[in-house]
Amino acid sequence: MDFQEKDKKRYPLIKSFSFACQGILEAVRTERNIKIHFALTAIILFFGWFFSLNGMEWLFILAAIAGTIALELVNSAIERVVDLVTDQFHPLAKQAKDIAAGAVFIYAIFSIIVGLIIFLPKLGL
């Protein structure tokens, strides 16, 4: 396999990463909740650094952050697809949006619990 063949096989993967980054940037630009999640992420990362979290604590914090943001991105994508399919109220469209939002909500609650378990003892509580 020559260089050009290898380059052609890698290009689609690089392109897909580019599309993923474009999607994240578009969500940050247009979605209020994503902006909130990223702002809270910055605060949480600061406190993690300030309290010198150990490896296991960082693992749980990062999993909570990444999971919440990933689910929020999926929720935003579902909302856009539903809006693309219909501009009329439909009970199934509402259910799809509400269920996706519910998934984010459940994971956000999990993330809060993880944060409380890790940070409360560091605050002496």
Active site residue 72: yes
Tens-place pLDDT, residues 50-98 = 999 999 999 999 999 999 999 999 999 999 999 999 888 899 999 999 9
Q: Are 79 and 97 in contact (CB under 8 A)?
A: yes
Q: Are 53 and 61 in contact (CB under 8 A)?
A: yes
Tens-place pLDDT, residues 13-56 = 888 899 999 999 999 999 999 999 999 999 999 999 999 999 99
Whole-structure pTM value: 0.83
26 labeled part of a ligand binding site: no
97 labeled part of a ligand binding site: yes
**Active-site residue (options: 5, 26, 57, 72):** 72
